[in-house]
């Protein structure tokens, strides 16, 4: 059985100027590390005002410990601070994303959070993210964005009616490898989802069970069915 490669995480505070990202990438490449996730943010206020934060997770190069890369990053003149952390996957784990109407989203979240609690007590890490939204265009944009969210593992669409642009966005999310559960609702979205569930609480439970490493439920084995 193959094991996941070791992953390290680092947060860098650096000057916000041209060439800084190049300098950091040069050091990372010299260590033969593989960056698997990266984000950047500018500080508008506080002690780091005018500076930039760069957070990335990476797989270290062969025979090259994470600590050596961090030591070399600290030597870059434009870098002010470097700290290592546990990767987000170790802390928050896989993510269930729930999008739709407020009442339905809340009920799906009840099922997902309660089921995630059972698994996390036993050492797994599953987190639940929700956003209540209205409007076809707004919902379609949110659904499309799921494939760009780090660690997003499954999407649940909870609402009374969804179709049009949202259905096309669902197809794109599924093509990206993220399964989609839809509540039984009006509109064409249920025809595009992997699974349709009538009870919102059960939909949340199914979502967590699918991404769990220990549960026996597999959405691919019941694709196209309605419960």
Fold of 8-88: Alpha-Beta Plaits (3.30.70)
* 4-18, 60-74, 180-194: least confident range: 60-74
pLDDT of residue 138: 96
Q: Is 70 exceeded by the pLDDT of residue 2?
A: no
The tens digit of pLDDT for each residue in 31-50 reads 999 999 999 999 988 888 88
The ranges assigned to domains in the chain are 8-88, 92-221
Under 8 Å between Cβ of 116 and 127: yes
- Give the residue-averaged pLDDT of 168-188: 96
More reliable by pLDDT, 14 or 66: 14
- Give the residue-averaged pLDDT of 140-169: 95
C-alpha angle 12-18-24 in degrees, rounded to nearest 5: 35
More reliable by pLDDT, 24 or 63: 24
**At 221, is the pLDDT very low, low, confident or very high (cuts 50, 70, 90)?**
confident
pLDDT of residue 79: 94
Residue range 92-221 in CATH 3.40.50.10550: yes
pLDDT of residue 222: 84
pLDDT of residue 65: 67
Which residues contact residue 175 at a Cβ distance below 8 angstroms, ignoring those fewer than 6 apart?
none
pLDDT of residue 106: 96
Mean of pLDDT over the chain: 91
DSSP string computed for 10-61: EEEEEE-STTHHHHHHHHHHHTT-EEEEEEEEE--SSTTTTEEEEEEEEEPP
- Give the residue-averaged pLDDT of 155-167: 96
Nearest to 177 by CA among 62, 94, 113, 90: 94
Give 98's strand partners. Answer: 130, 156
CA dihedral sign, ordered 67, 70, 74, 80: negative
Under 8 Å between Cβ of 146 and 178: yes
What is the percentage of the chain residues whose pLDDT exceeds 90? 75
- Give the residue-averaged pLDDT of 109-113: 97
- Give the residue-averaged pLDDT of 63-89: 88
pLDDT of residue 201: 97
Structure tokens at 78: 């434009």
Q: What is the dihedral of CA 131, 96, 42, 58, to 10 degrees?
A: -170
Radius of gyration of the chain (CA): 20
Q: What is the dihedral of CA 161, 146, 99, 137, to 10 degrees?
A: -50
C-alpha angle 67-72-78 in degrees, rounded to nearest 5: 130
pLDDT of residue 7: 85
Q: Is 60 exceeded by the pLDDT of residue 1?
A: no
Distance CA 205, CA 41 (A): 35
Phi, psi torsion values for 78, nearest 5 degrees: -85, -5
pLDDT of residue 5: 63
Q: Is 70 exceeded by the pLDDT of residue 172?
A: yes
């Amino acid at each position: 059985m193959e094991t996941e490669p070791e992953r390290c995480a680092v947060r860098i505070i650096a000057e916000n100027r041209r060439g800084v990202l190049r300098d950091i990438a040069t050091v990372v490449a010299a260590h033969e590390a593989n960056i698997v996730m990266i984000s950047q943010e500018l500080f508008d206020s506080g002690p780091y005002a005018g500076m930039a934060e760069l957070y990335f997770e990476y797989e270290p190069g062969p025979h090259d410990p994470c600590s050596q890369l961090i030591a070399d990053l600290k030597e870059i003149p434009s870098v002010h601070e470097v700290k290592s952390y546990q990767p987000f996957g170790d802390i928050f784990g896989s993510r269930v994303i729930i999008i739709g109407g407020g009442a339905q989203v809340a009920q799906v979240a009840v099922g997902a959070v309660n089921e995630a609690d059972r698994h996390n007590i036993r050492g797994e890490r599953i987190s639940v993210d929700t956003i209540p939204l209205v409007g076809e265009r707004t919902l379609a944009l949110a659904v499309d964005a799921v494939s760009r969210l780090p660690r997003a593992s499954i999407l649940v669409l909870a609402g009374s009616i969804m179709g049009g642009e949202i259905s096309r966005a669902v197809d794109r999310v599924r093509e990206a490898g993220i399964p989609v559960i839809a509540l039984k609702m009006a509109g064409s979205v249920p025809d595009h989802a992997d699974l349709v569930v009538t009870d919102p609480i059960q939909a949340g439970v199914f979502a967590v069970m699918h991404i769990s490493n220990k549960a026996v439920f597999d959405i691919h084995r019941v694709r196209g069915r309605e419960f």
